Structure 1
Amino acid sequence: MDWFTGIVVYLLIWWTALFAVLPIGTRPVEEPDPEAGGWRGAPTQPHLLRKIIGTTVLATVLWFGAYALIESDLISFRDGWLAYQGPSGR
């Protein structure tokens, strides 16, 4: 995996992990004020910095796992039973 592909894979993993981490620990506002722009689903304290740090740690661990899997010959689309055989079946 070259550096550009590694960055793209990391960003994809990071965004996916962010959407998985965002709802953890949120509590809705008990009595929202519609005149002030309050909404009943808005969290009281979203703790965004904590969630971004947690997402970064989780994405880094998952990226290293993906990197190890990609760099190993455990799964390969060039050799073995996952390889593309082409129209001739060779």
Structure 2
Amino acid sequence: MAIQISTWLAIYFVLWWVMLFVTLPFGVRSQHEDGVGAPGTDPGAPILTRMGRKLIWTTILSAIVFGIGLAAYHAGYLSIERLSKMMGMPF
């Protein structure tokens, strides 16, 4: 069964958003941790989020995970028949 490119793009898009939420907490320092903060702001507010780096890392990580999934699909490990058989569901 062949999968169209639109399906691959949709899978990558969803995977990219999941990876974004995985990478968001890394490297964030709060105002409370640094002892610096503007009056009237939440002490847990981040000082510098470095979103550019996080977007780059998100793209790299999602491309790696997507490549592993694509290789597993082409090797036959992610076929619908195999997965339904493993779960004991008739296909």
TM superposition score normalised by structure 2: 0.77
Where do 1:11-90 residues align within 5 Å? 11-29=13-31, 30=35, 31-34=37-40, 38-78=41-81, 81-82=85-86, 84-85=89-90
- Structure number with greater Rg is 1
Instruction: Report the aligned-residue RMSD.
Output: 2.0
Unaligned runs of 5+ in 2: none
- The Cα of 1:85 is off from its aligned counterpart by 2.4
Percentage identity across paired residues of the two chains: 25
Distance in 1 between residues matched to 2:11 and 2:57, nearest whole Å: 18
User: If each structure's helix is expressed as a fraction of its own residues, which one has the higher value?
Assistant: 2
